[in-house]
Amino acid sequence: MLRLFTYILLLVFCVFSTGLMAEFYKWTDANGQVHFSDKLPVSHQAESVELNEITTYTSVTVSNVDTKSESTSNSALPDKETVDKKTVKKNRKVVIYSAAWCSICTRAKNYFKSKKIAYKEYDIETSKKGRRDFIRLNARGVPVILVGKKRMDGFDVNKFEAMY
C-alpha cells in the first residue's frame, strides 16, 4: 500500500511539475526592437532563452541601468516623470523584482512600508511582466530594485538611502 501511494505521489509530482518549466523566447522585430515572451511568436524567428537558477543576492551592488542595451527595456524601468525642481526625492518611483520565498525581498518591502516609500512590485515567478523584465535586466537573483536609472541587486538600507 505504501509503495502504491509513493508511485501515485511521484506521478502527481511529475505531471504538475511540467507546467513549471515554461520556455522563454527572444526575437527582434523589423524595427530592431528586441522582444521577450513566454509564447513562440508566429511572425518572427525566435530563439529559446535558457534561464539559470534564480537565487537571492549574497552581496549588494548598485549600478546604473543601461537603457540602450538589448538586455534592458524601458518597460522594466519606472515610468519617466517630469519632475519639478521643488519635488522632493521621495517622489521617485521604486520598482522591486522579487519572489515570494525571498526573505531579503520581504525585508526590503517592509522597509519601504515603514518609510512610506511607494513602490511597484513584480514577482518574477508569478508575473509575466516580472519574468520578462528579469530576463531583460540579465538578473541572476532577487531582489532587483530600480530607482530611476539606478539598480540595486540585493538590499542594504544604507545603499538604498544613498541611491534614493
Stretch 87-115: mean pLDDT, rounded? 86
Q: For residues 43 and 33, give the distance between their C-alpha atoms in angstroms, rounded to a whole number.
A: 14
Q: What's the pLDDT tens digit per position in 22-72? A: 677 777 777 777 777 777 777 778 777 665 666 666 677 777 876 444 444
The C-alpha angle with vertex 65 and arms to 84 and 22, in degrees rounded to 5, equals 125
Please compute the mean of the pLDDT values over residues 71-77 and round it to a whole number: 42
The pLDDT value recorded for residue 130 is 95
Which domains can be identified in the chain, with CATH numbers? 1-50 (no CATH), 52-164 (3.40.30.10)
State which of 12-21, 66-75, 94-103 shows the largest mean pLDDT: 94-103
- pTM of this prediction exceeds 0.75: no
- Residue 91 predicted with pLDDT over 90: no
